[in-house]
A = this chain, B = another copy of it.
Amino acid sequence: MLKLDFHPAGRHFLQIPGPSPVPDRILRAMSYPTIDHRGPEFGELGLKVLDGIKKIFKTQQPVVIYPASGTGAWEAALSNTLSPGDHVLMFETGHFATLWKKMAEKLGLKPEFLGLPGIEGWRRGVQPQMIEERLRADPQHAIKAVCVVHNETSTGVTSNIAAVRRAIDAGGHPALLLVDTISGLACADYRHDEWGVDVTVSGSQKGLMLPPGISFNAISPKAMAANQHAKLPRSFWDWSEIVEMNKTGYWPYTPNTNLLYGLHEAIEMILGEGLDNVFARHERLAEATRRAVRAWGLEIQCADPAVYSPVLTGVMMPDGVDADAVRKLIYERFDMSLGTGLGKMKGRMFRIGHLGDCNDLTLLATLAGCEMGLRLAGVPIKQSGMPAAMEWLSQAPKTSGLKAAA
């Protein structure tokens, strides 16, 4: 038996911004027996999940499901649309934007990294006007793609993708728009078609509430056309054969059957609750978290209220406090995992995940655990955050998660 099944009393609180806790319904679905991926039952399953996932991306276009984790879907988005040496414009929103840029370099692209100076870019999200200006300065259309992160998991900032689209269109620039919403999908509103995104990248282990292991590319017709000419070598990631075979519900190679069972269940749960209700629920829990953080007198990592993330909240530590020491104390004493500070924010903040399978009481437990840990670690806090969070959760409208009366 794995030691990680050691569990003297009560559940671990997994409050990192993903992987998020997997609901029992999904774990049970994942234990259905593996079936023949060439048999008739599989085709039926395939068609159902391929159709359902489109509703979650708000697209009528194909969504490719890879039997690979999210990082792979990043690579797929680049390699399916670009050629070696292509210029791409990326925006530094945080650690994950930085990793995506490094990937572009490794693949032989020429990424240019826009951003605000210092850690400001990590606190304010994408600046569409900077993109617009840069594209206007590219009359030759050397820039082939603009890559931005919708919900930056390292900071808790959710950028405005529609505004990025408008920035590209403003100067009539033909660059493709590639968006990573790995941690945003099914937490924050996302509209692949309406926002004119060319490739949307996402993954399973956040708002979809699945374990890691499958990932997605939603593909616009323009991106699909680019695929014909893009010269980056690719085989596993190549869209064309997958999209073709997906028409009958099958994949050219062995799909991740048991995770597709889980995806089927997740889609039922999410569409059953209603996407708008899902978004409202995340917003509501996020606001409760921010009210607690403010009561503590600590700073929220995201400095622009317009782009607060509904998925996670970054909490900055006062100077001289090692955020990871606080996290460790909380982990050891209260059996709760929080997200670490990444990259430029290493040791300076921790991240509270409030996404996926989370409700009012779970969030309050999370905030209580943070608060006790902060005090035990000697971090000066102004006052308890519980009253503010509890009052908000008592008063703010709730559109789902209510039990029917007897």
What chain B residues lie within 8 Å of A300 (beta carbons)? none
Indicate whether A380 reaches chain B with its CB closer than 8 angstroms: no
Contact B358 A10 (CB under 8 A): yes
Contact of A19 among B10, B18, B37, B66 (CB under 8 A): B37
Q: Is A255 an interface residue (CB 8 A)?
A: yes
Q: What is the CB-to-nearest-CB distance from A331 to chain B, in angstroms, rounded to a whole number?
A: 6
Report yes or no: A337 in contact with B35, Cβ–Cβ below 8 A. Answer: yes
Q: How far is the CB of A79 from chain B (nearest CB, A)?
A: 8
**Bound state CA distance, A269 and B10, in angstroms?**
12
Picked from B11, B19, B70, B103, the residue with its CB within 8 Å of the CB of A257 is B19
Contacts of A95 in B (CB 8 A): none
The answer to whether the Cβ of A177 comes within 8 Å of any Cβ in the partner chain is no
Contact between A335 and B72 (Cβ–Cβ < 8 Å)? no
Counting every copy of the chain, the complex holds: 4
Q: Is A201 an interface residue (CB 8 A)?
A: no
Task: Answer yes or no: A375 CB below 8 A from chain B CBs.
Answer: yes
Residues of B within 8 A of A369 (CB): 360-361, 364
CA–CA, A6 and B24, complex, Å: 11
Q: Which of A342-373 contact B (CB under 8 A)?
A: 356-362, 364-366, 368-369, 371-372
Q: If A212-B67, A254-B205, A337-B39 touch, does A7 touch B269 (CB 8 Å cutoff)?
A: yes
- What CA separation (Å) do A239 and B311 show in the bound complex? 32
Does A296 count as interface, using CB distance less than 8 angstroms? no
Q: A256-B211, A337-B39 are in contact. Are A34 and B10 (CB under 8 A)?
A: no
* List of B residues within 8 angstroms of A255 by Cβ: 69, 212
Residues of B within 8 A of A14 (CB): 33-36
Q: Is the CB of B254 within 8 A of A34?
A: no
Taking CB atoms, residues of chain B closer than 8 Å to A34 are 14, 19-22, 205, 211-212
Q: Please determine whether B366 and A44 come into contact, CB atoms closer than 8 angstroms.
A: no
Docked complex Cα distance between A47 and B372 (Å)? 32
Question: Closest CB of chain B to A363's CB: distance in Å?
Answer: 8
A104 to chain B, nearest CB (A): 8
Q: Does A322 contact B (CB under 8 A)?
A: no
A107 CB to nearest B CB, Å: 4
Of chain B, the residue at the smallest CB distance from A253 is B71
How distant is A211 from chain B, measured CB to nearest CB, in Å? 4
When distances are taken between beta carbons in the complex, the residues of chain B under 8 Å from A172 are none
Segment among A55-63, A192-200, A383-391 that sits at the interface with chain B: A383-391
Q: Mark A30-45, 1 if CB is under 8 A from B, else 0.
A: 1111111111111111
Best-surrounded residue of A11, A25, A234 (most CB of chain B within 10 A): A11
Q: Is B27 in contact with A12, judged by CB distance below 8 angstroms?
A: no
A382 interfacial contact with B, CB 8 Å = no
A362 to B337: give the CA distance in the assembly, Å.
14
Instruction: Determine if B256 and A212 form an interchain contact, defined as CB atoms under 8 angstroms apart.
Output: yes
Asked if A232 is at the interface of the complex by the 8 Å CB criterion, the answer is yes
Verify if A259 is at the interface (C-beta below 8 Å from B).
Answer: yes
User: Do B9 and A357 touch (CB < 8 A)?
Assistant: yes
CB-CB nearest in chain B for A398: B333
- B404–A213 CB distance below 8 A: no
Which residue of the partner chain, among B232, B261, B406, contacts A43 with CB atoms under 8 Å?
A: B406
Which 10 pairs from chain A and chain B are nearest by CB?
A: A10-B359, A40-B406, A68-B68, A365-B365, A71-B253, A361-B365, A211-B258, A67-B69, A36-B337, A213-B256
List residues of chain A with CB under 8 Å of any chain B CB.
1-14, 16, 18-25, 27-45, 66-72, 74-75, 79, 84, 102-103, 106-108, 203, 205, 211-214, 232-236, 238, 253-259, 261, 264, 269, 272-273, 277-278, 281, 328, 331-337, 340, 356-362, 364-366, 368-369, 371-372, 375-376, 384, 386-387, 390, 393-394, 398, 400-406
17 contacts between A and B (CB under 8 A): A3-B44, A4-B45, A9-B356, A10-B361, A14-B35, A22-B33, A34-B212, A38-B340, A43-B406, A67-B68, A67-B213, A103-B236, A106-B233, A211-B259, A212-B256, A362-B365, A364-B368
